[in-house]
């Protein structure tokens, strides 16, 4: 309990500071938003059109989750920093410069900047949960995919199963690090720290149905996360294709369908291989029997002996 109060204070100070730097809008937002814990699946609406790339969400995530700083470098030709997720960087703002520069054009000369705040997609039916052999990753009723270190064997299967490569292993502690969607805050009826810190409402939080409705009503030409991998708790909207941000094309199959679709042809190939092997063995034994029954051709020496 004592620790909880400390963490709250920590957030208030940390997220508040980050928000002050970013925008005054966030200050009022951080104070007033308290959502009721309904137990309904929650989701986050991530609007790339509203993101200004201030990285308040990254800072707030680090602060709330007490994640250490990471020595980073500016990645090539862009401002994404850190360049990818790690066990201590659960929230990454990805920047993308798009279009062709035209010096004659007005304003930016044809170039446009887009940024998007990315984290664990918190799939509705997560592949990482499906493959975890010890239930170390579980799907929380409110939507987050949470990790229990006390059950983890460190097989790293979750890292290979996640289509977004969100899950990372800390080499020192041998523990998995990934976004928890601030499950402790959600349970206390609060919004995730990154949402609170966002100064432009690029990140919004609420019931998944509502977030989905908002996403559709926003008239964004591209929606991501609604159907991918059977649906996720991150509803991303943008005016540019999500491939531009490096997000993969993930089929809409949930793990059960994906696995079944994989097993069917595996069994099919096995059956065909089995039939071919059986026929091959049958033909081989038949040929061997025939050749064993038929008399062997005599050699010239044997013939001479017989004649003599």
Partner 1 sequence: MTDIVWGWQLTLEIFLVGLGAAAIIISLFADLIKKDQTSYVAMAGAYIAPVATVMGILVLILHLGALYRAPWNILHIIFEPNIESQLATRTWALIILTVLMVMIFALCLFKGSQKLTFVLKGAASIVAFYVLVNGGVVLSFSRGVPFWSTPVLPWILTISSFPAALASIGLAIPILAQLMPKLFTNMVEIFNSGKNYKKLTLDLLTASIPFLVATLILTFAHIALAYGEPGVDVMLMGDMAMFFWAYVVAGTIVPIIIWVLNRSTTTKSAWANYLSYLLILAGMAALNFAILYSPQITESILNF
Residues that bind partner 1 (CB under 8 A): 75, 78, 80, 83-85, 92, 94, 118, 127, 130-136, 149-157, 159-165, 169, 173-175, 229, 245-248, 250, 255, 258-259, 262-266, 268-270, 273, 280
C-beta of 136 vs 186, nearer to partner 1: 136
Distance in angstroms between the alpha carbons of the first and the last residue of the chain: 110
- Closest CB 119 distance from partner 1, rounded Å: 10
Nearer to partner 1, 30 or 132 (CB): 132
Minimum CB separation from partner 1 for residue 158, in Å?
9
- CA gap 150, 201 in Å, rounded: 36
Shortest distance, CB of residue 266 to partner 1, whole angstroms?
5
Name which of 105 and 276 has its Cβ closer to partner 1: 276
Spatial distance between the Cα atoms of 88 and 170, rounded to a whole number of angstroms: 8
d(CA 186, CA 259): 31
Burial 188-227 (b: 16+ CB within 10 A, else e): eebbbbbbbbbbbebbbbbbbebbbebbeeeebeebbbbe
> By C-beta, is 54 or 123 nearer to partner 1?
123
- In the sheet where 234-238 sits, what is the strand order? 203-207, 42-47, 234-238, 222-224
Please report how close the Cβ of residue 163 comes to partner 1 at its closest, in angstroms: 5
Q: How near is the Cβ of 305 to partner 1 at its closest, in Å? A: 21
Residue 117 tokens, joined: 């705040």
* Closer of 98 and 155 to partner 1 (Cβ): 155
């Amino acid at each position: 309990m004592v620790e909880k109060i400390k963490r709250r204070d920590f957030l208030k100070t940390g997220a508040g500071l980050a928000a002050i730097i970013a925008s005054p809008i966030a200050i009022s937002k951080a104070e007033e938003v308290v959502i009721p814990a309904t137990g309904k699946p929650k989701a986050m609406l991530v609007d790339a059109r509203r993101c200004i790339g201030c990285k308040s969400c990254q800072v707030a995530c680090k602060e709330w989750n007490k994640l250490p700083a990471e020595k980073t470098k500016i990645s090539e030709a862009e401002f994404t920093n850190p360049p990818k997720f790690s066990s201590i960087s659960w929230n990454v703002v990805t920047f993308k410069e798009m279009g062709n520069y035209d010096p004659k054009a007005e304003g930016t000369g044809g170039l446009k900047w887009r940024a998007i705040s990315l984290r664990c997609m918190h799939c509705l039916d997560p592949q990482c949960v499906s493959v975890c052999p010890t239930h170390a990753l579980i799907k929380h009723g409110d939507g987050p995919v949470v990790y229990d270190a006390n059950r983890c064997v460190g097989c790293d299967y979750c890292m290979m199963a996640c289509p977004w490569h969100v899950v990372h292993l800390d080499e020192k502690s041998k523990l998995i690090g990934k976004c928890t969607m601030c499950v402790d805050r959600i349970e206390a009826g609060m919004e995730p720290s990154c949402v609170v810190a966002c100064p432009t409402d690029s990140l919004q939080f609420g019931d998944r149905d509502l977030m989905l409705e908002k996403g559709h009503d926003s008239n964004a030409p591209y929606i991501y996360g609604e159907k991918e991998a059977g649906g996720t708790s991150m509803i991303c909207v943008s005016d540019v294709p999500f491939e531009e941000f490096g997000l993969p094309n993930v089929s809409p199959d949930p793990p059960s369908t994906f696995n079944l679709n994989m097993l069917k042809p595996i069994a099919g190939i096995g059956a065909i291989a089995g039939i071919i092997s059986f026929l091959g063995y049958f033909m081989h034994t038949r040929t061997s029997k025939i050749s064993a029954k038929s008399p062997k051709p005599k050699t010239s020496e044997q013939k001479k002996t017989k004649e003599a």
